[in-house]
Amino acid sequence: MNQPYQAPSADVCIAKVDERYQPKFFAASGRIGRMRYVVYAFGLTMLSYLAIAIVGGILAAIMGGFDSASANSGATMLLGFLAMVVMLFILVMTVIYAIRRLNDINASGWFVLLFLVPIVNLIMGLLLIFMPGTKGPNKFGPKPVANSGGVVAAFVVVAVLFVGYIGVLMAVAVPAYNQYVERAQAASEMQYDYDY
């Protein structure tokens, strides 16, 4: 007898425990781990900078440079438009990466809207970088395959560049702050001398 309300006889298991998949860089769905999240975001940023540099270089060569005489030219407007398109693409891909990372920790992609709330966005960013994903399959799909050697190498490069960036920032910021403190103390002493 064929009943329309009969329970399905198919296997309705979401995923097998040992099932894994290979994440893709430009994919809009699936899960990505912490290391891939950092590498993909950094890679996307570098690709966008490269694209803007190439377009800017080509337009500068064609138009004879972007000096003050040609600042209002169509080339500048074209470069601005292309930069906006690239930045929109970066924004969309960044949101997709955050959603994929949230899916890895078994959270809804709607939590990405918390990035619009000040202070909470910092906490969300740290959670996405440091919180481990679920061990096996979750409601968003199977676990991604282990990180390849290329992903690990790219992560090491990103970490070294980040530490170097912080080092350069500190090498500039600490002496500048010390000079500021010295000038402020000198100004304070001068004002104190004028009071008497």
Domain boundaries in the chain? Answer: 23-147, 149-196
The average pLDDT across 89-108 equals 92
What does the alpha-carbon distance between residue 96 and residue 117 come to, in Å, rounded to a whole number?
Answer: 18
Per-residue confidence at 179, pLDDT binned at 50, 70, 90?
very high
45 and 115 Cβ atoms separated by less than 8 Å: no
| Per-residue confidence (pLDDT) for residue 67, from 0 to 100 | 59
| Per-residue confidence (pLDDT) for residue 194, from 0 to 100 | 60
pTM, two decimals, is 0.70
- % of the chain beyond a pLDDT of 90: 36
Q: How far is CA 46 from CA 53, 71, 80, 109, in A?
A: 10, 26, 18, 25
Per-residue confidence at 1, pLDDT binned at 50, 70, 90?
low
The average pLDDT across 11-22 equals 66
| Per-residue confidence (pLDDT) for residue 196, from 0 to 100 | 56
Which of the two residues, 153 and 4, has the higher pLDDT score?
Answer: 153
